[in-house]
Structure 1
Amino acid sequence: MIPRHLLLRGLAAALALGAVAPLTLAQPAKPIRLVVPFPAGGATDLFARTLSQKMGEKLGTTIVIDNKPGAGGSLGSDLVARAPADGLTLLLATTSTHSIGPALGGKLPYDTVRDFTPIAHVGNAPSIMLVPNDSPAKTVKEWIEYAKKNPNQLNYASSGNGTIVQLTAELFKAQAGLQVTHVPYKGTALAIPDLISGQVQVMFDSLPTGMPHVRDGRLRALGVTTLKRSPLAPDLPPVADTLPGFESNTWFGLYGPRDLPAEVVARVNTAANQALNDAEVRAKLTTLGIEPVNSTPQQFSKMVAADLAKWKQIIVERKIVNE
């Protein structure tokens, strides 16, 4: 007969094993699908591929990138919102999908708060304020003075209505009290030639696409849209030095479907933060113009709520529509 104390010890061990069995990501049998709601080759896709390998190592599995572009990121986001809450389908969301999209007031097939579980804020991509090389302004302060002397005579370029590029410029106009006309393009790449030639007088472009033209001497950068100097462009002063509090970032963050178990959220969050602390990952992200961010799910949720409120205020006040 087995002694009673050994039976009790065995029962306790069995109960302990049973307590952890439901944790899907303890040793996932299947690869994790990371949905990128934008096309392959773009900034979000490249970020996902940079992060996924090291993050998969931390989780003990493979992370497969699944590009599902369309409808401003809502097609891929909806796929994740409808996925089982088992930790095997995740979303790499951005400012466009979870801050600007819902703020524009269009019909989305999901609620960005109710239908997703925030996991981690993983990166920020700041923009830079670009002007033609022959612009009379050499600083942000000088450009504001220049625009105030020429109300409704200057133009700013954007990558289209309702984009982060337009909203950043409108935030700038609102805080500086400027009257500058919006000229939308189908992407900033198409706007660059007109900015170089002076047909438009300013644009807030991403660091990776804007800085090559600055280094080549075709454009002048006046400032960066972070609150403090960015390690990605340490020589550029923040626009916030002239307009206190001015900030605009394209953020990247991990979400799961609603009701994702807390244990799964904690495990994925830890893996993401560990991957972002890897020197090789950080170096690759720097080349993409992205600053790695470590966060808790609670910090991520709070940041997105504040970002949504900021852009919604600008969208309503400036009567911005996504045409």
Structure 2
Amino acid sequence: MAEERTGGGAVSRRRALGMAALAAGTGMATGTGRSGRALAQQGGQRAAWPTQPVRYINVFPPGAATDILSRIWCARMSEVTGQQFVVENRSGSGGTVGQAAIARSPADGYTIGLGSVASLAIAPSLYPSLPYDAGRDFTFVSGLWKLPNLLILNNEVPARSVPELIDLLRRNPGRYSYASSGSGTTVHLSGEMFKRMAGVDMVHVPYRGSAPATVDLLAGRVHMIFDNITGALNHAREGKVRALAVTAAERSPVAPDLPTIAEFLPGYEITSWGSVVGPPGLPPAAVERLSALTRQVLADPDFARSYHENGATTWWTTPAELAGFRGDQERRFAELIRASGARVD
């Protein structure tokens, strides 16, 4: 289910990893320039929290898009608070291994981590049992980013817009296929939502990750994929595939000329997203400060630019808004998962 991956270009990766050095626990005084110092000054006299390093559990592997985006945020939080935010990768089973580790951590404010669409909104309907309750076993703090998927076609498919693709699929039910990085991923469910809302019939071909799916797409063995925007956009810009639209509700700042699918199918929206969560019962003072500092960081133009370079947009919420959003997302994905028959045993 961990379909999120890198692909924002060499410059983006260098900048992201440079910003991440502090958060990775190297002890390097990297800094991020005047904007970072300004944020630190805005905080005024530092509150009691944090008075020691903060462990941030990323539920996906190193090098994935979630890892780069998490480290960018942790590096800036280290700078603003004066305490290191150290990233620990605990991947496995679509993010559920790391998510369970967050839920079981001490509620002292010094272990937090990534709450993702995969492990908090999709997994409850995809797995027959989970080692945590996605709604009750976490303290919800704030959203961090949203990362859309991109609908791309093999160049031999005779469609150059979403309306043309819908017309083609309606005239040829069951003839065209779409790949995914695995059953139950946002890549898969983007296709399922498209099928339902457009009233078309496509064959789903699941793979073990986006890389082999993309290989078959380029070779013409499958016709399309709704892949994470970073890598997919690179292939489109190189002319290897044809990009039609993004799956988010709004156009992406990375590719503003590409329409959204919602412009043709109103109400269509699927994005990968990341948030800050902790174990249940985090101290309210720590939650309040973490939320406020996250809001400051996400509002900084330089920080937002670093997210844009990696295909993401910043996304701040209150704790209550995040909890409500997660519940809404679980209900929305549950319907798609039931209709698709996706299941992980």
Which position in structure 1 is the counterpart of 2:81? 59
CA distance in 2, matches of 1:247, 1:91: 25
User: For residues 311 and 48 of structure 2, what CA distance do their matches in structure 1 show?
Assistant: 33
Q: Secondary structure at the match of 1:232?
A: coil
Residue type of the partner of 1:211?
A: L
Residue type matched to 1:271 in 2?
Answer: L
User: What's the CA shift for 1:278?
Assistant: 2.3
**How far apart are the structure 2 equivalents of 1:235 and 1:270?**
34
Paired residue for 1:245, among 248, 267, 278? 267
On the 8 A contact 1:122/1:273 being kept in 2, the answer is: no
Structure 2: gaps of 5 or more residues: 1-45
> Deviation at 1:151?
0.7
C-alpha distance in structure 2 between counterparts of 1:318 and 1:79, whole Å: 29
Q: Does 1:313 align with 2:335?
A: yes
Whether the 8 Å contact between 1:232 and 1:291 is mirrored in structure 2 is no
1:162 has 2:192 as partner: no
Does the aligned pair in 2 maintain the 1:80–1:256 contact within 8 Å? yes
In structure 2, the residue matched to 1:294 is 316
Name the residue aligned to 1:149.
171
* Residue 131 of structure 1 pairs with residue 153 of structure 2: yes
Aligned partners of 1:181, 1:322: CA distance in 2, in Å? 19
Q: Quick one: distance in 2 between partners of 1:25 and 1:301?
A: 25
Q: Judge conservation of contact 2:122–2:184 (CA < 8 Å) in 1.
A: yes
User: Whole-Å Cα distance in 2 between the matches of residues 162 and 33 of structure 1?
Assistant: 29
| Structure 2 match to 1:102 | 124
Shift of 1:281: 1.9
List per-residue Cα deviations over 1:113-164 (Å, max 9, x = no partner): 1110100011000011000122211111110110111111111100011211
Map 1:1-323 → 2, pairs under 5 A: 26-322=48-344
**SS of residue paired to 2:55:** strand
> What SS does the corresponding residue of 2:269 show, helix, strand or coil?
coil
Q: CA deviation at 1:29?
A: 3.0
Partner secondary structure for residue 56 of structure 1: helix
The answer to whether the 8 Å contact 2:124/2:130 transfers is yes
Q: Contact 1:131–1:201 (CA<8 Å) still a contact in 2?
A: yes
- CA, structure 1 residues 53+252, in 2 after alignment: closer, same or farther (shift >3 Å)? same
Q: What TM-score, normalized by structure 1, do the two folds share?
A: 0.89
Contact 1:27 1:60 in 2 (8 A): no
Give, in whole Å, the separation in 2 of the partners of 1:169 and 1:139: 16
Structure 1: which 5+ runs fail to align? 1-23
- The TM-score, its normalising length taken from structure 2, stands at 0.84
Distance 2:316 2:181 in 1: 29
